[in-house]
Structure 1
Amino acid sequence: MPTALITGASAGLGAEFARQLAARGADLVLVARGVDALESLAAELREAHGISADVMSADLSAESDVELVAARLRDAADPIDLLVNNAGFGLPLQFADNDIDEEVRHLRVHVEAPMRLMHAALRTMRGRGGRIINVASVAGFISRSTYSACKSWLIGFSRWANAEYARDAVTVTAVCPGFTHTTFHERMGLAPGEEGIPGIGWLDAEDVVREGLRDAARGKAVSIPSLRYKTVVALTGILPRSLTAGVARRGRV
């Protein structure tokens, strides 16, 4: 039975990845800061699907906690077949007004932690085979603040790694959703509707994860769920940066 390790698994897209993978028979290692939510989800999935679900408490802004997760990924005796780098959080877009320590923490969670965990996973996946999914965002194709910059790095690195490690039977896919119905925006203190995005701009987590898993199975380097956001990304390549950056100030994806 394949085993998947998912970071940020206590809610949102991470929890949905766990549910869909468990329904397919995968055993799970669920990682997040809050143990209670993880234990509840793990119990639910064990009962519903008869799979194994282990729980790891880790704050991925702390190097020591990242190393704990990396050590699990390097365990060749009990290998991880799929790594889902999903953990993340948002900050206000006004970089100069934000606390710089929070910005550094943001960078560690969105860039350093996925890089370290990918490095650990590749040590055991190369030759044996495996998949890595990095949850990025359509924001990675748009110029705006540090969230966009972090996601852009994740997309670029995933593209390179997917080509580089194909010879070792490892695929790396950046899943890039747009606005998605999760608790992400609530955790930032934003009330429903405060993003100013019409209903047609929102995706369901179930659809994002389903399409992301499908594209990863096909070996795609970048997955952009839904035709509407594929169109948005295509337009970012031809529209002036000043225009797309202005539109991007309306919300966070």
Structure 2
Amino acid sequence: MAVVPARRLALLGGGFSTDDDGLLDDWVLSHARTPRPQVCFVPTARGDASAYIERFLDAFRSRSCEPSVLPLFQRELDDDALRTFLLAQDVVYVGGGNTANLLAVWRAHGVDRLLREAYGRGTLLCGISAGANCWAEGSHTDSFGPLTFLPDGLGLLPGSVCPHYDSEPGRRPSYRAAVAVGALPAGWALEDGVGALFTDGLLTEVVTRTAGANLYRVEPDGEDGAGERALDCRLLG
């Protein structure tokens, strides 16, 4: 009987684009299925910005991995080659930017379906900000300007996600309000510096590079509001 691989994804509150210590990126690589993994960066949410791509490559060329980039705004691979490429990756690392735009572009190119397939085959999916939002059923986002709720995502992670919970004004009350009224399902709020690993949809590890930073479970409290519960985090370093 064939062994079904664990389906894993990681939500990141930091990484190469915001931190200099590399702790969260090293943590991600420690969960790859091979010692020297194929790691694909997907910069769709920021329009395949060249500076963002170079920052990723600079950070990961020096690590024990084989880094690559999937551009979609100047796509070079046909459908068959795109599928072969994505399914060969051990880690898919999605950058931040505009969550709504990311989802629309992925669907136009069929990347959403390929990522589902890769996830089912054991590829570790991860990302920061929009790259964390995209995996859930819904998210808290500034994709449309003001902070609001987006009841859309790939749905690989049950519930909703809110990034930058401690660092952007308005995030905490706005996300809690969306959960309270049912605009978003209960979910996970990440403070900057935190990493959360989910295996088959269940939380299995929480780490932080910043002492005092937390992952929160946010749920309706039954009184027209929403409560939050901090999860224990292991300090990296």
Higher strand proportion (structure 1 or 2):
2
Higher RCO, 1 vs 2 (CA within 8 Å, ≥6 residues apart): 2
TM-score (norm 2): 0.48
TM-score (norm 1): 0.46
